[in-house]
Amino acid sequence: MTFDEFDIDEKLLEAISYMHFEKASPIQEKAIPVALTGNDVLACAQTGTGKTATFLIPILQDLVKNGSQGTTSLIVVPTRELAIQIDQELQGFSYFTDTTSKAVYGGDKGADWDSQKRAFVEGTNVIIATPGRLIAHLRLGYVTLKNLRHLVLDEADRMLDMGFIDDIRQILSYIPEKRQTMMFSATMAPEIQKLANSILVNPQMISIAIAKPAEGVKQSAYMAYPHQKVDLITHILEQNPDYDSIIIFTSTKKLIHSIVSAIKKKISGVSVEGISSDFEQNEREDVLLRFKAKQTKILVATDVLSRGIDIKGINLVINFDVPRDAADYVHRVGRTARADAKGEAITFISEEDIPRFARIERLIEKSVDKISLPEQLGEAPVWKDIKPVQKKRKFYGPKRNGHKNPHYRKKNNQN
Ligand code: AMP
């Protein structure tokens, strides 16, 4: 389906074509028509599926068609990186319209605060905000959200994981009840469903497959002891001399520095940098910019980057360890092969990571190839297939707790 088949304004179509979006992605095809009617939407879609455009295009269409007085649209996101990225995409789509937007997130520069405050006071149309910083502004009384018509909760599962539920409820208390609400989440865990039930009105539920890495990602894994991992990275890089953009993920912030220095020591002349939530905001932005510009070949990151961050042309994702949360695997791996491109993801599995990796394989419904460790690296731990524990079905006789067991009777009648 092409974008001109949606009922959207020429100004948006022109911008969409400048952005080289030709065909709508599956989530866009399903959800944009629903969102254009003003219905609430509950969408289960992982990042990399085109979910951002799915909510931005209907919001912009409403603003172009029905005018935009003051702050009409609020997009709440878990991280500042995601806020910046959505704002950039929005600036592309709204290029031929007079929609204004601002990304609002915590930082350490006073100037940021002042420019965010100005955006609220001036009634910037679309605010893309992280919960904590938004509440800080709301409490000071100058934010007017009475004209709000759209609320988006993006990566709702992540926001719940990060403990933002109370913040979200507080934010809701500041905005009109009559509005369109769109909620996006990579998983539909019961607590997401609960949140959805409490804030969406007759939502249309849209789901595009369960969270699985995109088709274009070649996934494999090595069993390895921790002391073998850096040598393994060297080996992988030697085997793939063309790769110029690589992310190495680790769950542990403390490991970032030691991985970076070990790589520097082992591979002379390689450009490698680390990034984690401990870095100052401007430091994080600079590191990301250098990586995006391919000045840095290898970025070592924690899961801060694994969700939502959209950097094109990443050839390889290495999971230095197996993420604790199976959904994080999908997010990490999703950093490569963005928007139909090809990419590779290699995971290092140590002995104690085996049960976690088995859980991931169940989530993605696929057994990932385990490649043998190169001989020069020595013996590797051995992979064991772990079957999920099956609950034994209890057999109940003709009577259960003193009552007739209907299932028993039925079964007998059938026989
Ligand atoms: P998202 O899931 O919103 O983070 O989008 C992932 C990437 O795909 C972003 O770089 C988008 O700009 C890009 N993208 C989204 N929809 C399309 C589309 N219909 N055609 C081409 N690229 C797209």
Ligand 1 pocket check for 49: Cβ under 6 Å: yes
Residue 362 banded pLDDT, cuts 50, 70, 90: confident
Tokens of residue 322, six digits: 């197996």
| Distance from residue 325's CA to the centre of ligand 1 (Å) | 25
pLDDT tens digit string along 20-47? 898 898 899 999 999 999 999 999 887 7
Q: What pLDDT is attached to residue 190?
A: 84
DSSP-derived 3-state class of residue 402: coil
CB 405: neighbour CB atoms within 10 A?
14
Ligand 1 pocket check for 248: Cβ under 6 Å: no
The residue whose CA has the least distance to atom 1 of ligand 1 is 50
Average the pLDDT over 180-185 and give the result: 96
Tokens of residue 335, six digits: 């950093």
Tokens of residue 368, six digits: 């990932």
In DSSP terms, 299 is beta-bridged to 247, 273
| Distance from residue 184's CA to the centre of ligand 1 (Å) | 15
Residue 217 banded pLDDT, cuts 50, 70, 90: confident
Among 206, 338, 340, residue to substitute to test ligand 1 (most atoms within 8 Å of Cβ): 338
Task: Please say if the pLDDT value at position 393 is more than 50.
Answer: no
Q: What pLDDT is attached to residue 411?
A: 43
Q: What pLDDT is attached to residue 54?
A: 97
Q: Of all atoms in ligand 1, which is nearest to the CA of residue 25?
A: 19
CA distance 3 to 80: 29
Ligand 1 pocket check for 359: Cβ under 6 Å: no
Tokens 């969408």 correspond to 43
Average the pLDDT over 352-367 and give the result: 89
Dump the DSSP string for 74-131.
EEE-S-HHHHHHHHHHHHHHTTTS---EEEE---S-HHHHHHHHHHHHTT-SEEEE-H
Ligand 1 pocket check for 309: Cβ under 6 Å: no
pTM: 0.65
Q: What pLDDT is attached to residue 158?
A: 86
pLDDT tens digit string along 268-327? 889 999 998 788 878 888 998 999 999 999 999 987 766 656 788 889 999 999 998 787
| Distance from residue 216's CA to the centre of ligand 1 (Å) | 15
Ligand 1 pocket check for 8: Cβ under 6 Å: no
Contact criterion met (CB below 8 Å) for 200 and 40: yes
Q: What percent of the chain has pLDDT over 90?
A: 63
pLDDT tens digit string along 225-265? 999 999 999 999 989 989 999 999 998 888 999 999 999 99
The residue whose CA has the least distance to atom 21 of ligand 1 is 21
Ligand 1 pocket check for 338: Cβ under 6 Å: yes
| Distance from residue 17's CA to the centre of ligand 1 (Å) | 13
Q: What pLDDT is attached to residue 307?
A: 61
Strand order in the sheet with 369-371: 272-275, 298-301, 246-249, 316-319, 343-349, 217-223, 369-371
Tokens of residue 397, six digits: 């006789």
Ligand 1 pocket check for 90: Cβ under 6 Å: no
Q: What pLDDT is attached to residue 413?
A: 45
Q: Which of the residue ranges 70-74, 172-176, 263-267, 304-308 would you say has the lowest mean pLDDT?
A: 304-308
